[in-house]
């Protein structure tokens, strides 16, 4: 394998414990799991799974939500329940 080196990362302690438990169930160390991840990244020339931002937190959506809140606070608009009772009709 060549020269071995050490890396250090900061990670949430609960997340680390969960990963340690998963690795133990899989019969490997976290170092082995990271090595597998790294080799897969190199083979695919990128992260081996989709990484994307949650569109809910986009600047345009946050601005839209802030405007809606302002309108409701100013007495303009109507607050609707998120879940409506089923009236027995099907909407297509």
Render each residue's pLDDT in the chain as its tens digit; 92 residues. 679 999 999 999 999 999 999 999 999 999 999 999 999 999 999 999 988 878 888 889 889 999 988 988 898 877 678 876 666 655 54
What structural domains and CATH numbers belong to the chain? Answer: 7-76 (1.10.1220)
Q: Kindly report the backbone phi and psi dihedral angles of residue 53, in degrees, each rounded to the nearest multiple of 5, phi listed first.
A: -85, 145
Do 60 and 68 form a contact (C-beta atoms < 8 A)? no
Alpha-carbon distance values, 32 to 1, 20, 23 (Å): 13, 11, 9
Is the pTM higher than 0.85? no
- Alpha carbon of residue 29 to chain centroid: 24
Alpha-helical runs (H) found in 1-92 = 13-26, 30-44, 59-73
**So what's the pLDDT on residue 86?**
63
Contacts of 36 (CB under 8 A, 6+ apart): 28
**So what's the pLDDT on residue 1?**
62
**So what's the pLDDT on residue 11?**
94
Joined together, the tokens standing for residue 49 give 């799974």
């Amino acid at each position: 394998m060549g020269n071995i080196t050490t890396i250090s990362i900061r990670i949430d302690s609960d997340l680390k414990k969960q990963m340690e438990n998963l690795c133990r169930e899989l019969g490997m160390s976290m170092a082995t799991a990271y090595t597998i991840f790294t080799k897969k990244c190199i083979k695919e020339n990128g992260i081996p799974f989709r990484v994307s931002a949650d569109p809910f937190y986009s600047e345009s959506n946050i601005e839209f939500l802030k405007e809606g809140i302002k309108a409701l606070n100013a007495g303009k608009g109507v607050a609707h329940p998120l879940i409506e009772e089923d009236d027995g009709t099907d909407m297509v």
